[in-house]
Structure 1
């Protein structure tokens, strides 16, 4: 087999494996990078590098792997735009965290979002108390959106992403 075709097939295989692994282990695990997440990403990249290029450590081998990854990512995003089935298979659904001031404890526990993380996101949106939240959603990209029930408070989309942690949700 052509060594560069081998690199392309290996790279595509690793890409598809990572898509499946992130779906299984949760994209929220990598959505906010703390120290452990950075270490995980570095170790994953190091562990899959040899799987993609094999014994070919040349510049052209590395560029071939990178181009293959860019192409498969581009194609995969196009497929997700056209196929609702693939999109639903890969992407999580938005989750309601607070509705009309009431916390969704089961959802928060299932997602591993602590009360401290939720309160931080609320404060960044200018909301102090749970009862003032009309709707808080964990979006598909890991962002938390908060809409307050008070017209005087601003309604914003929070750009900080959440990661799973265990915490006390009884506050």
Structure 2
């Protein structure tokens, strides 16, 4: 087989593997880059480099691998946009954490968010108690959106990411 075609195939396989791994281990946590996450990304990139280019360490081999990754990413985004089932498989849904002052403890447990962490999020946005929150949601990008139940003129919408360590990734 052509060595450049081999690089393209290897790069696509690594891309699909990484996509599945991020989905399995929780992209919400990985989207919040702390020191451990940066180290993980650097080590993963180093560990899969040889898997993509094999023994070809030429400039052309590296550029072909990078081009293959850009193209598969573009193609995959178009597929996700066109086919809802694929998008649903890859992307998480927003999760309601508080609705009209009532906490959803099962959602908090599933996302491994403590009530103390959620209290901190709402306090940072000037809301003193859960019962003052109209809606709090964990968005698909890992942010928590908080909408207070105050009057329409004073209503606010804030976002804050919950930071998790790699040791707690259990999704």
Q: What TM bracket, shorter-length normalisation?
A: 0.7 to 0.9
- Note if contact 1:126-1:153 (Cα within 8 Å) is conserved in structure 2: no
Unaligned runs of 5+ in 2: none
- Of the structure 1 ranges 121-130 and 11-20, higher mean CA displacement relative to structure 2 is found in 121-130
CA distance in 2, matches of 1:161, 1:2: 45
| Equivalent in the alignment of 1:121 | 121
14-23 or 113-122, which deviates more = 113-122
Indicate the SS of the match to 1:12: helix
Tell me how far apart the structure 1 counterparts of residues 124 and 59 of structure 2 sit (CA, whole Å): 45
Q: CA RMSD in A?
A: 1.7
Q: Is the 8 A contact 1:96 1:137 kept in 2?
A: yes
Cα distance in 2 for residues equivalent to 1:35 and 1:115: 25
CA contact (8 A) 2:28 2:140 kept: no
- Partner in structure 2 of residue 102 of structure 1: 102
**Which consecutive residues of structure 1, in runs of 5 or more, have no partner in the other structure?**
167-171
Aligned residues: 165
1:47-99 C-alpha deviation (Å, 9 max, x unpaired): 11111111111111111111111111111000001001101111111101111
Which residue of structure 2 lines up, in the alignment, with residue 155 of structure 1? Answer: 156
TM-score (norm 1): 0.88
Helix, strand or coil: the match of 1:98?
strand
Cα deviation for residue 130 of structure 1 reads 1.4
